[in-house]
Structure 1
């Protein structure tokens, strides 16, 4: 399926639409990053979402204004980056699962301790480690420095594949995982 990206991303839209729209966009943090090649959508009515049970101290950013970074630890080890979607009080987000590294490769290699460019950002924990994302970035607007989010040229055809989300135990068959078709930088191939 090919999609034409809008000239901007409306973070007040449903998380599924935002997740799809982010494929092919460029994400940088302090000049380090690359092209977003894989995302997953989560919504407040979705039992796999951190916002499903309502606001808590941990997920409070998801219930605030859209276009903010929601950062959490996965398995107590890895930071994960999500973009908050929809209007205030709703609690939805998009997990950034994988990026094709394009800028700051030496910085990413040093942070990750490896040379293989394909493995630098192929998974949500790897994305955060390579870009230097920590809890300090939680709640920051993603449309302002130190973040930089840029869409591809208007009208560019982006081949997108969809499938079920991975690494979750609830709502496992929901097809809210989106990827750049043919990318070798995905966290896991699509079925």
Structure 2
């Protein structure tokens, strides 16, 4: 599918690893596409993720299923969108078999398409700050609770893609660190990022 200057194809569920850590790594270099219909297409390359696994006290599924977190228990490849601290929406991807609550938080994107629209939504023209952080992603791409639970391999409004000539990111280019902004299980090395990217969030000490 030609979207602007990019040749993108939608990822299928069979292409997505059904394992949380593997999915968090796999998504580095892939693309989030947001179709706003008449307002146009927005897209950004995933350059930072965090994994939230079984037995993880920081995972929203740790204490079982609730009306708020039920999308985490959908089979891998669905959106889990929640409001953090009452101020910012967060986009996650469910990551295991149906009934198993785990997910991958999309932490940062590199802008690719629709940057002028993103800038209006964010109220800034600084390209580095458009999608650097999960709350900024949701604001720039107009992601909120209405998109919770949608199938990212099928829904036209929000989906995961890959550039035709870029199937995977070299493991050598993927950095690993502890996660950011947590009070529980904070030291687990479950944050993944594209080394050298100026769009990665978090302190410089974690991005080496």
**Is TM more than 0.5 here?**
yes
1:74 aligns with 2:84: yes
Which 4+ runs in 1 deviate beyond 2 A?
7-12, 154-158
With over 3 angstroms needed to count, the CA separation of the structure-2 counterparts of 1:156 and 1:87, relative to structure 1, is closer
In structure 2, the gaps of 5 or more residues are 1-10, 36-40
Q: Distance in 2 between matches of 1:135 and 1:17?
A: 26
SS of 1:40 mapped into structure 2: strand
- Tell me the C-alpha RMSD between the 2 structures: 1.6
With over 3 angstroms needed to count, the CA separation of the structure-2 counterparts of 1:16 and 1:156, relative to structure 1, is closer
Higher relative contact order (CA 8 A, sep 6+): 1
Of 21, 24, 30, 1:25 maps to 30
SS of 2:106 mapped into structure 1: strand
1:13 aligns with 2:18: yes
8 Å Cα contact 1:11-1:84 kept in structure 2? no
1:150 aligns with 2:187: no
Of 174, 177, 180, 2:188 maps to 174
Note the alpha carbon deviations across 1:80-125, whole angstroms, 9 max, x for none: 0000011011100000000001111011000000000000000000
8 Å Cα contact 2:28-2:169 kept in structure 1? no
- What TM-score do the two structures reach when normalised by structure 1? 0.91
- What TM-score do the two structures reach when normalised by structure 2? 0.84
Q: Distance in 2 between matches of 1:162 and 1:14?
A: 17
Of 60, 74, 89, 1:64 maps to 74
